[in-house]
Amino acid sequence: MQRKFCQLYLDNNFNKTKAAREAGYSASGASVEGNRLLKNAKVRDEIKRLAEEQTISSEETVKIISDIAKGDIKDYLVTRKVERRKRIKKPLSVVIQEVEDKISFEKEFVRRVPITDVEDQKKFDKMILSLQREIVRYEIELERNPKAYRIDFSDPELVDEVELDLVKVKKDKEGGRIKSFKYGKYGPEIEFYSAADMAVNMARIYGRFKDNLDLSMNGSISIDKWLEENSDEEVDDEVEGE
């Protein structure tokens, strides 16, 4: 359980009580066990080894901070060409003309290719009659409302459509460049880190502020210093497995 405690100690932001509890120690004695484990020299060495193994370099840290400071929603938008049809108003007089043209076409077709089957002829006559009645209905409507129209769609045309590059969003979320990403009621929701805060960190890194940000393991985030401050005596035991 000691080895498990070492990893959980890092995973839980150096919370020894929570790490001990999740490692399998009793909830009532987790705080005491956490203190005891941190006094174990072998445990501290293992924690240090895991921390150094899992900690990114100062160059990688600067790169991430820089990327966040310069981050913009436009970085996650891609443009592609798609076919779209526009909704248009078609005057009813034009609709009537289109139906008349259809009747004319069908009659011309039958004239050139005569119908020889009685049943096929009945179907043809029924179709023509239906179209003619449709014209009469349109004409009556047009007489009552000269501005009458029908909604139609234009021919397809290519237009630019902007969409979210979800693959890049997911990748940058996992890489720590995006604070949060989830699907909300109206679609994807992205929360970025504060660009202003990241810009301040960059200014510290490049010495623009006096309280320079130290990214070395010998600075404020030294695991050695942290462990030293959180253990006041050593117990030289072997680190047990899970």
**149 lies in which domain range?**
87-153
**CATH code of the domain covering residue 228:** 1.10.10.1400
Tell me how many domains the chain contains: 2
Relative orientation angle of helices 16-23 and 30-38, to the nearest 10 degrees:
110
Q: Does 200 map to a domain?
A: no
Among 153, 169, 186, give the residue marking a domain's end. Answer: 153
pLDDT digits (tens, 9 = 90+) for 57-92: 656 666 666 666 666 778 888 888 999 999 999 999
pLDDT digits (tens, 9 = 90+) for 7-17: 888 788 788 89
Helix (H) or strand (E) holding 35: helix 30-38
What tokens were used for 117? Answer: 């089957």
Q: Does 160 map to a domain?
A: no
What pTM, to 2 d.p., does this model score?
0.42
Residue 40: closest CA among 70, 13, 79, 1: 1
Q: Does 198 map to a domain?
A: no
pLDDT digits (tens, 9 = 90+) for 125-157: 999 999 999 999 999 999 999 999 999 999 999
Q: Does 191 map to a domain?
A: no
